[in-house]
Structure 1
């Protein structure tokens, strides 16, 4: 797809449920739910009609719909079966790019010219997908992300009207498509809701500077999507020819397990080459050649730069699809090639010390293991996101080398959790402070969870500040089901200080045993 070309998205709704039903050999009239762990992550339209919803527990979903077919999440299955759809679309309009199993994009200009109009091209592609045994919805727009969101509504967005089309959509639409949204996008959507930004247009009206200074890097990407701009600026580097890696398959590959091994090997080589020149891949062409001279190629596009495991997964999925497709190659695969079609600066990966790969990361690990040997196993610890209501509870420190298992599940709802943003610095010793009213009396918290007076000043050791504002108090009663006379109660508040720019500007307070403590500071 050339820059400036309109984008056509082909979306197969509930693809994971469709694939699970196909493997189970059941018809489209059977309700299907796909689980991750014990919760529904995808369900068919028939299941939704019976009351099944995403996020439900398995027993609850089966209670709504006793005839529900339940399957576990399986990306390999989804990708393998989607190859028939991708092949059907590619045979109708060449140049498809797979974002994920169930979602394809391609340039709209050539399709519209060939079939006479964008509407006619959309009809032809819907028919082609139907012949492959699936349903599809088409979205066409100026940029990829708008086309993908338009596909969910089956809309063709007129030229230059992307922002107007997106404006009335719920801001939650920014988080529903996994190929466009990072896992933390749901937290951003929740925060935007609490700030009163309920529509995509509300978020789009913020300036880029406001978003960049107030939110994280993913919010900047979401803001570009809300403004109908490309997810990445069009300055992505053209890849150099020497970044391509090849593998001669000896013996030739005709089994899925051999394909998976070859895919891992080739992915490791590719990322070593990319790391050496400081780039990361965002669009990857996977090619194969068979003994009979057949040439197979498929392009995978990703919202975020690919890591080596991500690349290995996509190579495995693609080879699995080719080798098990009904129009599978007539001879074994004798050569594989991975070619980066688009690359960005490697810092776009945003990998931390523990998530990196390559020689530098391995050298860092060896050094830290040596530190453990000198100072003890607990001397080097890693912070893992945990579940909890207070900021300190949401970090579990684990010794390097141990299983990175949090003390509590962060995916649980945790009602009463401190709202974002979290403090920049946590004060584990929680120094005692004093909150006073305008008349100098101490401000405490009543049994009803209210301030005894409006806070006016904060006293911290020898310093004191007037308050520019405050929020709270937020009482949280934990273990309310306990029969104990005094269940654990946490009460928190935030205060903004009238301080110099170089001083502390805001403080998170916690009320414990009739005394205020500083739990964290905001910079």
Structure 2
């Protein structure tokens, strides 16, 4: 741990902030769950681009923003995992618990990054240097590497943590000044998503360093740029990101849920969190405020309590609130935080620690942000409450070869983890484009040749005669084109689940619906079908538009 920055401490000094940063956290968690050695190159991708990677991957030229194919070309032994914020949050809970055991008052910015006031730990351990070293040792005991930074402001402390520095009091602006302006958008836990656009604009204006940006007049920044630029400018000048006007929430905004029966499972806790989050945001909207810091409290039937504070760069949404409650309770109920409760949760309480005016939000022309989505969420929660959690399901892209296998249906609001990894190699997978419609149950059809005889497929994959007609529900449609068949031989080593047969694609002519007088009644339109079967029996696996 080293010291950085120079200058004379300011009068009063202000509140110092200590940040604990775990490098490459998404890649670290992916490697842990996969059981990979520490030296194995790992990359995490989202939308087919690298969003995080380990030091071993960077040594081979892998960088954030690279396409997956290019990253694998640079590092052939690269292990690639899909981004999963729920996974990152679950495995981060032991780190938060370790820090909280030494220094209460921890605030989680995102999985992999937390902050707390430096005064308590530095006073207890004798100095900021000693406190930082003790925190590093405590986190290392939990099996995780971390770096600690201390500065006058939150954003400066986060930047210092990435370098393992303790910035002298009053020297935050001088510490940030020579750094590239891109540092203002480096950490999503302290900046809004549009910060990257601001950084790009500042570069095009010739402002290359944070000091160049800080030299601008606050009046000019406020008149030329948006609200996020004003916050970024305050950070560049070494001032607190949020002005002192941010106020504590009134007590009537606190929401509480008494669980009867007690909640002992994570899925039940997630269901309760969704309804409680909707109640909280309804009260916030009625008061004209939005929450930026949220405290989640849980109490068991035996009197055990668990509390955690979450800080966000932007006002929380109902989904964001429910996610944070689920992450926290997941780590506690499963024992990942180090102390598993001896009874179920009987009281769950959400307390807005800090709120801002709803005017800070970008409102839509016809209502608040996500007003329609909020009504839909309420309706879905209501349906689940009446009919059960499985009554509302959403599809998640999964792994597999057939179209039905590539979708996993999960209850709405649950963690979206597919049954099979879609990024794994699936030789023999049905190529793109995917069918627009996939029947819940395969539809049986007959595939006939020109003589009306069922088309059979030999062991060599040869058809007995070219397909001429597809019969569905007693009605025949002429085959205009066909391709295949291709063999299907899956899990041949396990007779209980082995699947064998063939797939074929056909284009048939179907009757267009009667569009009314003057329409071309009787006109044929084309429709593509994905068939699976053989031995005279075929089923429709998918329908192409």
Give the TM-score taking structure 1 as reference length: 0.67
Structure 1 unaligned residues grouped into runs of 5+: 364-523
Distance 1:134 1:360 in 2: 38
Deviation at 1:324, TM superposition (A): 2.5
Show the 5 A alignment for 1:303-342.
303-326=313-336, 327=338, 328-342=340-354
User: Taking structure 1 as reference, are residues 244 and 6 closer, same or farther at Cα in structure 2, changes over 3 Å only?
Assistant: same
SS in 2 for 1:287: strand
Partner of 2:86: 76
Q: Is the 8 A contact 1:284 1:339 kept in 2?
A: yes
Partner of 2:305: 295
Deviation at 1:170, TM superposition (A): 0.3
User: Taking structure 1 as reference, are residues 70 and 355 closer, same or farther at Cα in structure 2, changes over 3 Å only?
Assistant: farther
Deviation at 1:362, TM superposition (A): 6.1
Partner of 1:347: 359
Show the 5 A alignment for 1:499-518.
none
Distance 2:47 2:330 in 1: 24
SS in 1 for 2:220: helix
Structure of greater Rg: 2
Partner of 1:262: 272
User: Taking structure 1 as reference, are residues 89 and 248 closer, same or farther at Cα in structure 2, changes over 3 Å only?
Assistant: same
Partner of 1:54: 64
Deviation at 1:357, TM superposition (A): 4.9
Q: Is the 8 A contact 1:80 1:324 kept in 2?
A: no
Deviation at 1:325, TM superposition (A): 3.1
SS in 2 for 1:152: helix
Deviation at 1:3, TM superposition (A): 11
Partner of 1:158: 168
Distance 2:318 2:363 in 1: 12
Distance 1:128 1:203 in 2: 38
Deviation at 1:72, TM superposition (A): 0.5
SS in 2 for 1:289: strand
Give the CA RMSD over aligned residues: 1.9
From 39, 42, 49, the equivalent of 1:39 is 49
Q: Is the 8 A contact 1:7 1:108 kept in 2?
A: yes
Distance 1:54 1:264 in 2: 33
Deviation at 1:251, TM superposition (A): 2.3
Map Cα deviations across residues 261-286 of structure 1 (whole Å, 9 max, x no partner): 11110000001111111111111000
Give the paired residue count: 362
Distance 1:188 1:45 in 2: 28
User: Taking structure 1 as reference, are residues 14 and 355 closer, same or farther at Cα in structure 2, changes over 3 Å only?
Assistant: farther
Q: Is the 8 A contact 1:81 1:325 kept in 2?
A: no
Partner of 2:369: 356
Between 1:4-13 and 1:248-257, the stretch displaced more is 248-257
Q: Is the 8 A contact 2:13 2:170 kept in 1?
A: no
Q: Is the 8 A contact 1:35 1:70 kept in 2?
A: yes
Between 1:84-93 and 1:253-262, the stretch displaced more is 253-262
Q: Is the 8 A contact 2:362 2:369 kept in 1?
A: no
Q: Is the 8 A contact 2:300 2:346 kept in 1?
A: yes
Instruction: Please tell me whether residue 14 in structure 1 is matched to residue 24 in structure 2.
Output: yes
Partner of 1:92: 102
Show the 5 A alignment for 1:132-211.
132-211=142-221
Deviation at 1:351, TM superposition (A): 3.3
SS in 2 for 1:95: coil
Distance 1:296 1:361 in 2: 29
Distance 2:58 2:208 in 1: 25
User: Taking structure 1 as reference, are residues 357 and 65 closer, same or farther at Cα in structure 2, changes over 3 Å only?
Assistant: closer
Q: Is the 8 A contact 1:122 1:138 kept in 2?
A: yes
Map Cα deviations across residues 110-138 of structure 1 (whole Å, 9 max, x no partner): 11111010000000000011111111111
Give the TM-score taking structure 2 as reference length: 0.64
Map Cα deviations across residues 15-70 of structure 1 (whole Å, 9 max, x no partner): 11111111111121111111102110000111111111111111111111122111
SS in 1 for 2:130: helix
SS in 1 for 2:165: coil
Partner of 2:124: 114
Distance 2:75 2:32 in 1: 20
Structure 2 unaligned residues grouped into runs of 5+: 1-11, 377-545
Show the 5 A alignment for 1:328-477.
328-352=340-364, 353=366, 356-357=369-370
